[in-house]
């Protein structure tokens, strides 16, 4: 990974200059993200360069806060607390949800774009039975803003229409406890590196790529245009829905659920 700094001398000189100014690799990497640098490196790449032959020849380790001449072995580094509790594993998701026998359960994912356009991305939310889709634009992948937009999008739905959301284990979703605590929506998480376990949203992402290819500058896409794309997806007949559209099936299913509600009906 440190070879990227060797292949790009100007980038390497920028990194070295900041190291010598007392910046840590974490500060350098994240500042590049903040500045929207077209060519950048992460902190792990910088650490590997510092302790490579080229970095050791320049004694770059001396400029680090702890002046550690040899990098601490991975096993000796502080082990972080797991970000996803075992009881929210997809393995514990009820069969009625897994086999789509129950409406009101969603899947979520991030749609990413070329690095040169910065960290902007799109959250895709899909209800598993109706395939109804919601697209939300994010300026970055920070977990609190991403999860905040998801909460805002589903909060106004009746609880019977947003009982759970299944995510992958991306760091953008680590604020999941707020989702459960603030609006009562259960969260489930796929196994690591198992995108097929949320196949509904993965399939929807492929459909959305028709209008949102990776090479498109998502920062130039307005919220109105994103809603139009979303409306196209929801207005398209689907074989799995008996050629109905998600926009037709979603309200039908919600009214069915409300009809089965234990709350007394107004006369």
Chain segment 23-48, per-residue pLDDT in tens: 899 899 889 888 888 888 888 899 98
Lowest mean pLDDT segment, chosen from 9-18, 75-84, 199-208, 255-264: 75-84
pLDDT of residue 37: 85
Q: pTM for this one?
A: 0.70
- Matching residue, tokens 């989702």: 179
- Reply yes or no on whether the pLDDT at 79 is more than 60: no
The answer to whether residues 212 and 111 touch, using CB atoms and an 8 Å cutoff, is yes
* Mean pLDDT to the nearest integer, 104-108: 96
Closest CA to 199 of 100, 85, 88: 100
Angle at 136 between CA 133 and CA 137, to 5 degrees: 145
CATH 3.30.420.10 fits 86-259, yes or no: yes
The pLDDT confidence band at residue 195, using thresholds 50, 70 and 90, is confident
Rounded CA-CA distance 248/264 in Å is: 26
pLDDT at 86: 77
Contacts of 18 (CB under 8 A, 6+ apart): 27, 28, 31
Neighbours of 2 (CB within 10 A): 19
The DSSP secondary-structure symbol of 89 reads B
pLDDT of residue 87: 77
Q: Is the pLDDT at 267 greater than 50, yes or no?
A: no
The dihedrals phi and psi of 127, each to the nearest 5 degrees, come to: -75, 130
Q: Where are the domains of the chain?
A: 3-69, 86-259
Measured CA to CA, the distance from residue 203 to residue 31 in angstroms comes to: 35
């Amino acid at each position: 990974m440190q070879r990227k700094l060797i292949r790009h001398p100007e980038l390497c000189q920028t990194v070295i200059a900041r190291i010598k100014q007392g910046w840590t690799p974490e500060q350098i990497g994240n500042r590049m993200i903040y500045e929207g640098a077209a060519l950048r490196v992460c902190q792990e790449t910088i650490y590997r360069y510092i302790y490579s032959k080229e970095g050791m020849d320049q004694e770059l380790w001396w400029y680090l806060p702890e002046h550690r001449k040899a990098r601490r072995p991975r096993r000796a580094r502080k082990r972080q607390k797991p970000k996803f509790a075992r009881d929210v594993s997809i393995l514990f998701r009820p069969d009625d949800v897994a086999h789509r026998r129950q409406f009101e359960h969603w899947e979520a994912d991030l749609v990413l774009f070329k690095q040169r356009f910065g960290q902007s991305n799109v959250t895709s939310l899909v209800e598993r039975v109706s395939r109804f889709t919601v697209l939300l634009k994010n300026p970055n992948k920070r977990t609190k803003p991403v999860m905040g937009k998801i909460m805002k999008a589903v909060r106004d739905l009746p609880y019977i229409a947003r009982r759970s959301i299944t995510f992958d284990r991306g760091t953008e979703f680590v604020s999941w406890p707020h989702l459960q605590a603030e609006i009562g929506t259960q969260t489930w998480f796929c196994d690591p590196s198992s995108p097929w376990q949320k196949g509904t949203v993965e399939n929807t992402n492929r459909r959305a790529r028709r209008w949102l290819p990776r090479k498109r500058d998502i920062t130039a896409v307005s919220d109105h245009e994103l809603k139009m794309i979303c409306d196209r997806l929801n207005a398209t007949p689907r074989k799995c829905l008996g050629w109905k559209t998600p926009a037709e099936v979603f309200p039908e299913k919600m009214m069915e659920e409300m009809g089965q509600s234990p709350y007394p009906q107004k006369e």
